[in-house]
Structure 1
Amino acid sequence: MGGHHKKNLRAEKAKVKLKGAKLPKGLNVTKTDFKVRKIEIREQLKESSYTEFGQRQLNLKETLSRLKHHSVKFRQDALRNVRDSLKSGNADHLIGHLNVLFQGIAAGALDMERSARQESFKTLDVLLEALQPQAVAPFFHVIATYLRCAMTHVLPAIQEDSLLMLDVLLQRVPPALLAERSASVIIGNFIDMISRARHDNERSNRTLTLNLGQGKQTTVKWRTKVLIRLQQILGTLVSSKNAKAPVARVVHFEEMRPQYYNVLCPTPKDNRDIYAILKEPKLSAEGTQLQTYLEQLLPLLQDNWLEVRPQPQQPLLSQDAAASLHVVISLMSLLWTLVAQHETEHNTKELSDWLRKNYAQKFVVNFLDKDGSRFPYQQIPLAAKKSTKDKGAVDGGELCLPQNLGIVPLTCKFFPNPNEKQAKLYGHLISYMQQCLERLNSMPPEQQLLVVASLRPLLLENATSLLNIVADPLISLLSVTIESYVGQRFTTREGVATRVLNLLCEIVERSDLYKRFGGEARFAPFLSYLPQLLLKPTVGEATLRAMATLCRQLNGVFMSALIQSSPKVISHLVKLQVTGDSEAEDKFENQKRVLNLFYYARESDKEGQLERALKQLEEQAENGRIAGYLKAVLGFN
């Protein structure tokens, strides 16, 4: 050991020593005042596999494989990568891989981690927004399958988050596609989320279940949250049935005129009663399914309301009870709409008769009491610290206007032919509607639409029976409605005023109701105001039809008002547009319909106003066609 050490020391001493002068004090400093420039190679940047945050970019193959990875972090990164790619406008290269993509994204609804489920819903939202409905349709069954699995999952957290997935579908998927593909199955799953069957039989009575066990929300809030989504699903069914099929146009051949032919041809309808031929019950398969929904849902909705219904010592509703009542009334209205659509399509009344027989009395007892003493409902005033967001459409506000206005038409549907026993009940409803008309100026358009919808069954659909038991209150309600319309207290937004006008015109067209309501004496303010509508830019088809009916009935009040306005009406006729069913007609044909009114009204022209208006038209060369037709109308015997 010692010999080697000495040998190493001698080798060190033998090395050449570099000796130099030391720098003066203060100069041994590194210079940093020089400038540098980054070297950028464009091709390398383009092919770089890292983002600006240092995260590794994944190609499409890696992304699709990571959607099924066992690691939660890998799955979330893949979902974010898909979302970023879609937001950057690169959806075209995903078209060939939609099957795998939908499988991977929709499977996130069943993920055990809440963060992964939320990422999958965000990505599904962006994907459905970027794709056309025809591209989604072949793979919609994949999404619907995972949704149903999530709604029936054993874990309450996954069940609760399944509503978020449904929100995405309701927002991004067309109602017709959602209703056609899986609405019927989803409705059954909704029923399972808030109730369970008392027996193994599927159509047996069901009982409400308690809270899911999360501890974060009450049972009432959970059921309300589920029922709101059920309301949206039923709304898609209603809107899909209301969609009108394209009408084929029949073109007649003319040798000297260019012809344009449609591909579609009108399909002849078979009006034979096939059920009578085959000796089968009239209730179709669709009607049987709808009856099943009614048997399961209506008892559940009423039980849900009975749990939160206020007691006599505290008649005001809590906020949760008001929200529950709002969604329950909306669901019952939608169910009645589906029944009406089904019966119109199949020309039957069996389902509505069955509904009234089994649930009419229960509805009155649970929601109104027998004499209507519980009606109308009001909510406990909210504390000042509550935001205005809590007073909106969820619970209807402190006056509970949507709830109360929804109860009125439902009562009319359950009792279309009321008798003396329901006189006091309908007296409460009519009195409440008059109070609503007095508060019209403070109502937004959405609530005014509900007011008009509640007036229609009282003043038109059930009016014949109601005039036998509550004639004076009903006539008073009509007078207030006419005063409100003529006084322009109904807003023109959302078509509210137009709906009131159509309602009043339909009453006028029915001669029996017109006479029983008081005839010209009662409708005088409305009839005198009616010709003023011909001075506006547009007039509705229903309004023009009602005017023609009044002229054929030789209504003196209307014809006198029409003659007084005739110079202005005739001069404005060139600018007038008729909206509604006759929009496709020639403009001159609609102008002739207005001019035909003066054929009946000319007898009321004592001052010769029509003749003066005709001379003014004849002086204007551009109105020669209208002038010629008006001259023929006035001279026709």
Structure 2
Amino acid sequence: MSTYLRSSMTHIDSRIQEDSLLFLDILLLCAPLRVAQDFHRIIPNFLDMISKLRVDSKPGRTLTINLNNQNTSAKWRVKVFQRLQEFLQKYAAYKNVENLGKIKTSGVTVFDVIKPNYYSLFDPINTSNCTVSCFSGKSSENELQIDEIEKFHEYTHTLVPLLFETWFEACPSSKSDKNFETVISEETGQLLKHIIQTLTLLKNLLKYFNTKCPSSHVEKLLLQKYKSKFSQHFMTSFPYVTNMRSRQVSRMDTTGVDTTDPKLIAVNLELCQLYIAFNPYVNLKNQSNEISLVLGYIEKIFNQSSDSTISAMVINLLNSLFCNEITGWTRTISVLDALFRKIIWIYFNKSMCDTLKQDIFGLLCKITLNENLSHFHSNDAFEMWLKSLPDILLSEKLTVQTVNIIHKFA
């Protein structure tokens, strides 16, 4: 099936290429594991569907123009990038990328006085098989892993410039006033969504490979190489909205995707997340305009949004900002002072739902317990929040998470 798929993806007939995307949809739905296992065989064909090798002396690829009457270049790229994003999602799930950073804790064995209790004499990890290669100092598994990382690194550095070039062609000219949003068409909004989600998946996969092989530095190399181009292509016109505000919001668009976010809030938040990732050592003097745009948008959405999904995205974004490692964002309080005050102000908002309040409480406790963020502790708003902690124990209901967090202060 993989062979037939790859043959149809690179077929000379554009109609067969379009059918290959439908065939891929079925495979992703019915056999995602098998498709993910053939990742390195299938991914080059995605590049051939939207680009071609340069004929001049320059390395890399250039975008192709679709002259089909039924599909414009923009529509075709939306279809391809949508499938590419879904393909990368299945590959990330196959690699278990989301659970990589989670701490694995062994289950606690509780002695049961009613029934017999059996305990192993040895730790299972000490009795597991250890595979050693007979022909080299490195195991074949490690060699295959390094080869896989190199291949994915190569695909990424081919694909990312194509993503930038695609958006450069589709994006309208720079906005005249930084206080206004950039209005784009519905089709362009879908293209932006798939490009940003593809970039996010590529970054997460590189982070996964970097964790597996720290000496490769693949994530750091990507962020350093494309930092300025990302800001140039995406942040100049940030934020974005579609021109369908007065129309029915929830419906199927021309690409078959349900359009439920005309203001592109989720996409803009992902852009903020990527900007923070691309600029860990941000410079307030040289990047003040971009910083104010990003933080201003986060603050605006956090204050206005009542959608639980959007609120969860903002909380995740804030957790990445106030991480354990000191970055340019948290080295001093000057960059995040206004946003930090807004977080505490929202926490004291009585009309806020319990789930969001619990998430903010966890974030503030994380900041409190982090010695690297001690300069935030002298903030007057933070001191006011600390004084309110005893009142939590007097509330009508108390969650287990709250008790566990307060216990850490003891």
Same fold (TM over 0.5): yes
2:287 aligned partner: 422
Cα distance in 2 for partners of 1:199, 1:440 equals 49
Q: How many residues align?
A: 385
1:241 aligned partner: 95
SS at match of 2:154: helix
* Alpha-carbon distance change, 510 to 461 in structure 1, aligned in 2, over 3 angstroms: closer
Larger radius of gyration: 1
SS at match of 1:258: coil
1:300 is the counterpart of 2:162: yes
Deviation of 1:327 (Å): 0.9
1:539 is the counterpart of 2:395: no
Cα distance in 2 for partners of 1:284, 1:341 equals 13
- For 1:305, the aligned partner's letter is W
**Contact 2:9 2:49 (8 Å CA) reproduced:** yes
Deviation of 1:415 (Å): 1.1
- For 1:231, the aligned partner's letter is Q
Deviation of 1:435 (Å): 1.0
TM-score, length-scaled by structure 2: 0.79
Deviation of 1:228 (Å): 0.9
Cα distance in 2 for partners of 1:361, 1:394 equals 33
1:309 is the counterpart of 2:171: yes
SS at match of 2:125: coil
Cα distance in 2 for partners of 1:426, 1:501 equals 25
* Alpha-carbon distance change, 517 to 264 in structure 1, aligned in 2, over 3 angstroms: closer
**Contact 1:409 1:454 (8 Å CA) reproduced:** yes
SS at match of 2:261: coil
Cα distance in 2 for partners of 1:481, 1:357 equals 30
Question: Deviations for 1:20-57, whole angstroms, at most 9, x for unmatched residues?
Answer: xxxxxxxxxxxxxxxxxxxxxxxxxxxxxxxxxxxxxx
- For 1:418, the aligned partner's letter is V
Deviation of 1:430 (Å): 1.0
Deviation of 1:473 (Å): 5.7
**Contact 2:200 2:274 (8 Å CA) reproduced:** yes
* Alpha-carbon distance change, 390 to 183 in structure 1, aligned in 2, over 3 angstroms: same
Gaps of 5+ in 1: 1-142, 271-276, 552-637
Cα distance in 2 for partners of 1:336, 1:488 equals 38
Deviation of 1:237 (Å): 2.0
**Contact 1:380 1:398 (8 Å CA) reproduced:** yes
1:365 aligned partner: 232
- For 1:178, the aligned partner's letter is V
SS at match of 2:251: helix
* Alpha-carbon distance change, 361 to 299 in structure 1, aligned in 2, over 3 angstroms: same
1:147 aligned partner: 5
SS at match of 2:124: coil
- For 2:349, the aligned partner's letter is G
Cα distance in 1 for partners of 2:345, 2:339 equals 10
RMSD: 4.0
Gaps of 5+ in 2: 131-136, 177-181
Question: Deviations for 1:574-595, whole angstroms, at most 9, x for unmatched residues?
Answer: xxxxxxxxxxxxxxxxxxxxxx
Deviation of 1:311 (Å): 1.4
SS at match of 1:466: coil
Equivalent positions of 1:216-615 (< 5 A) are 216-242=70-96, 257-259=116-118, 265-266=124-125, 284-312=146-174, 315-348=182-215, 350-369=217-236, 374-382=237-245, 384=247, 388-389=250-251, 397-419=261-283, 420-441=285-306, 444-460=307-323, 464-467=327-330, 471-472=333-334, 474-487=336-349, 491=353, 499-518=359-378, 521-525=381-385, 528=388, 531-532=392-393, 536=397, 538-540=399-401, 546-551=405-410
Question: Deviations for 1:342-391, whole angstroms, at most 9, x for unmatched residues?
Answer: 1122234621221133211111111113xxxx22222224564x563158
Cα distance in 2 for partners of 1:294, 1:417 equals 23
Deviation of 1:169 (Å): 2.2
Deviation of 1:538 (Å): 4.6
2:40 aligned partner: 184
Cα distance in 1 for partners of 2:317, 2:371 equals 22
Cα distance in 2 for partners of 1:502, 1:286 equals 38
Deviation of 1:253 (Å): 12
SS at match of 1:421: coil
Cα distance in 1 for partners of 2:352, 2:394 equals 15
**Contact 2:10 2:49 (8 Å CA) reproduced:** yes
Deviation of 1:393 (Å): 7.1
SS at match of 2:225: helix
Cα distance in 2 for partners of 1:350, 1:491 equals 41
SS at match of 1:378: strand
- For 1:301, the aligned partner's letter is L
Question: Deviations for 1:205-246, whole angstroms, at most 9, x for unmatched residues?
Answer: 111112262x22321111011111111111122222337699
Deviation of 1:537 (Å): 7.1
Cα distance in 1 for partners of 2:259, 2:154 equals 29
- For 1:405, the aligned partner's letter is L
2:133 aligned partner: none
**Contact 2:6 2:45 (8 Å CA) reproduced:** yes
* Alpha-carbon distance change, 348 to 453 in structure 1, aligned in 2, over 3 angstroms: farther
**Contact 1:195 1:209 (8 Å CA) reproduced:** yes
SS at match of 2:400: strand
Cα distance in 1 for partners of 2:95, 2:293 equals 34
TM-score, length-scaled by structure 1: 0.53
- For 1:362, the aligned partner's letter is K
* Alpha-carbon distance change, 498 to 166 in structure 1, aligned in 2, over 3 angstroms: farther
Cα distance in 2 for partners of 1:340, 1:397 equals 28
**Contact 2:10 2:17 (8 Å CA) reproduced:** yes
- For 2:35, the aligned partner's letter is L
1:164 is the counterpart of 2:22: yes
Cα distance in 2 for partners of 1:262, 1:234 equals 43
More helix by share: 1
SS at match of 1:311: coil
Question: Deviations for 1:106-149, whole angstroms, at most 9, x for unmatched residues?
Answer: xxxxxxxxxxxxxxxxxxxxxxxxxxxxxxxxxxxxx2222222
* Alpha-carbon distance change, 468 to 262 in structure 1, aligned in 2, over 3 angstroms: closer
* Alpha-carbon distance change, 503 to 537 in structure 1, aligned in 2, over 3 angstroms: closer
Deviation of 1:259 (Å): 1.7
1:206 is the counterpart of 2:61: yes
**Contact 1:326 1:396 (8 Å CA) reproduced:** no
**Contact 1:156 1:212 (8 Å CA) reproduced:** no
2:179 aligned partner: none
* Alpha-carbon distance change, 430 to 250 in structure 1, aligned in 2, over 3 angstroms: closer
- For 1:480, the aligned partner's letter is K
* Alpha-carbon distance change, 534 to 218 in structure 1, aligned in 2, over 3 angstroms: farther
